[in-house]
């Protein structure tokens, strides 16, 4: 379909394209309108309404400029990605300094893992004895005191109602 516009460098109405496309390019007559609308939606073919008619056109120079802009954008994106990759490579190299795989480093990593496991075990053991924690015991005492005072208020209030 684009060849019709590029070869003739002309402006067409829909009915003209519907006549030319099946004859010259083998596009089925039923799909010409849909294909043309798709090209308009993609910005490859321009359209304008003049009076009661719609006109369609596409010039090779516009397509060339669009491809050049796209190429420039992709080249800029590629350059940015290359700079970012280089920056990340440098960062990786910097982080590797002092992290060479040595026997000492492997031993330290193993020791760190063992200490972390021990830490988890100790935390679990502390959890078992949490009820003996002075702060927890004090909270329980305070809760008991409040509950006892509330029970006494209810008891006194019930006695007053019976005898009152």
- pLDDT tens, position by position, 3-30: 888 888 888 888 888 888 888 888 887 8
DSSP 137: H
At 80 the pLDDT is: 95
At 71 the pLDDT is: 92
Q: Which CATH class is domain 1-58?
A: mainly alpha
29/32 Cα distance (integer angstroms): 5
At 57 the pLDDT is: 85
Indicate if the pLDDT at residue 131 is higher than 90: no
At 164 the pLDDT is: 57
DSSP 55: E
- The sign one gets for the Cα dihedral 146, 149, 153, 155 is positive
Instruction: Provide mean pLDDT across the span 95-101.
Output: 76
Indicate if the pLDDT at residue 113 is higher than 80: yes
DSSP H helical ranges for the chain: 2-8, 14-20, 32-41, 60-96, 103-128, 134-163
Instruction: Provide mean pLDDT across the span 117-121.
Output: 93
At 126 the pLDDT is: 81
Whole-model pTM above 0.85? no
Instruction: Provide mean pLDDT across the span 123-146.
Output: 82
Arithmetic mean of pLDDT over the chain: 84
DSSP string, 120-132: HHHHHHHHHTGGG
17/35 Cα distance (integer angstroms): 11
Strands (E), the chain: 12-13, 46-50, 53-57
**Residue with the two structure tokens 């073919």:** 45
Q: How far is CA 55 from CA 17, 31, 40, in A?
A: 10, 18, 11
- pLDDT tens, position by position, 29-78: 788 888 888 888 888 888 888 888 888 888 777 777 888 889 999 999 99
């Amino acid at each position: 379909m684009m060849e019709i516009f590029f070869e003739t460098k002309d402006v067409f109405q829909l009915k003209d394209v519907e006549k030319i496309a099946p004859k010259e390019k083998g596009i089925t007559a039923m799909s010409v309108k849909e294909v043309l609308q798709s090209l308009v939606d993609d910005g490859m073919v321009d359209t304008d309404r003049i009076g009661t008619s719609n006109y369609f056109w596409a010039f090779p120079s516009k397509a060339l400029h669009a491809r050049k802009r796209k190429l420039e954008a992709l080249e800029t994106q590629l350059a940015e990605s290359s700079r970012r990759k280089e920056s990340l490579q440098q960062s990786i190299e910097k982080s590797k300094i002092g992290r060479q795989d040595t026997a000492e480093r492997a031993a330290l990593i193993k020791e760190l893992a063992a200490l972390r496991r021990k830490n988890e075990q100790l935390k679990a053991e502390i959890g078992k004895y949490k009820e003996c924690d002075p702060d927890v015991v004090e909270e329980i005492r305070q809760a008991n005191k409040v509950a006892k005072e509330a029970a006494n208020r209810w008891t006194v209030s019930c006695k007053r109602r019976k005898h009152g």
